[in-house]
Chain A
């Protein structure tokens, strides 16, 4: 059964810092991995999706990598801004029909 773990649970950084959020999964037969952002009380916004055949994806200041052999994914945020403050969730497609299995998220706070 696929399990997804995110470390750290919370992170506070000063504005401008580069940072890395970590995600690990137990089943290397993961299909795709998706990173989301969630603002308080809101739904999820998809940031990046990495297919199982890919190693990384980039969008603006965000870069996500996937290492299936080690069961890890990282989300790199460059030059962090206060507007990046949110909870970041990673999710693997673990079910036979494509349902997502989520980690508990990393709550990021970027201080001005």
Chain B
């Protein structure tokens, strides 16, 4: 148990619908990352927060994607007008900036299937 939780664990939706995922990091961690993993591939970085500030976004994060971390604790990732190509595992990770060993701890992921 890494301490990072994600909800829901599974989501099936129809193309064109909006979906929102939640990530709760380890409580004292100030950095939070979102990654996306498709079948047979390694995770790909989407975006990252330090406290409540979104500091970096990948070019993979199209205009249909938005992420927030309003109080510097949990984060949400919303996908608007979902497409079949959005089907993937969405992983959240957290870390504590300033530690010599800045290990990222991952949650169990949210598996999205767009029909």
Binding site for B on A (CB under 8 A): 4, 32, 34, 36, 41-46, 49, 51, 89, 91, 93, 95-105
Contacts and interface: CB of A to CB of B under 8 A. Distances in A.
A49 B106 CA distance: 14
Nearest to B50: A97
Interface in B33-86: 33, 35, 40-45, 48, 50, 55-56, 58
A44 B90 CA distance: 12
B104 A100 contact: yes
B103 A98 contact: no
Contacts of B100: 51
A99 B102 contact: no
Given A46-B103, A97-B48, A100-B45, 7 more contacts: A36-B106, A43-B6, A46-B104, A89-B42, A97-B55, A100-B33, A105-B42
20 contacts: A4-B42, A32-B102, A34-B104, A41-B111, A42-B109, A43-B4, A43-B106, A45-B106, A46-B106, A97-B50, A98-B48, A98-B97, A98-B102, A99-B45, A100-B43, A100-B93, A101-B45, A103-B42, A104-B41, A105-B42
Contact of B40 (A51, A100, A104): A104
Of B55, B97, B101, chain A has the most CB atoms within 10 Å of the CB of B101
Contact of B31 (A44, A98, A101, A102): A98
Interface of B: 2, 4, 6, 31, 33, 35, 40-45, 48, 50, 55-56, 58, 91, 93, 95, 97, 100-109, 111
B50 to A, nearest CB: 8
Nearest to A100: B104
B102 to A, nearest CB: 6
Nearest to B10: A41
Contacts of B111: 41
Given A97-B48, A99-B33, A99-B48, A43 B42 contact: no
B101 A104 contact: no
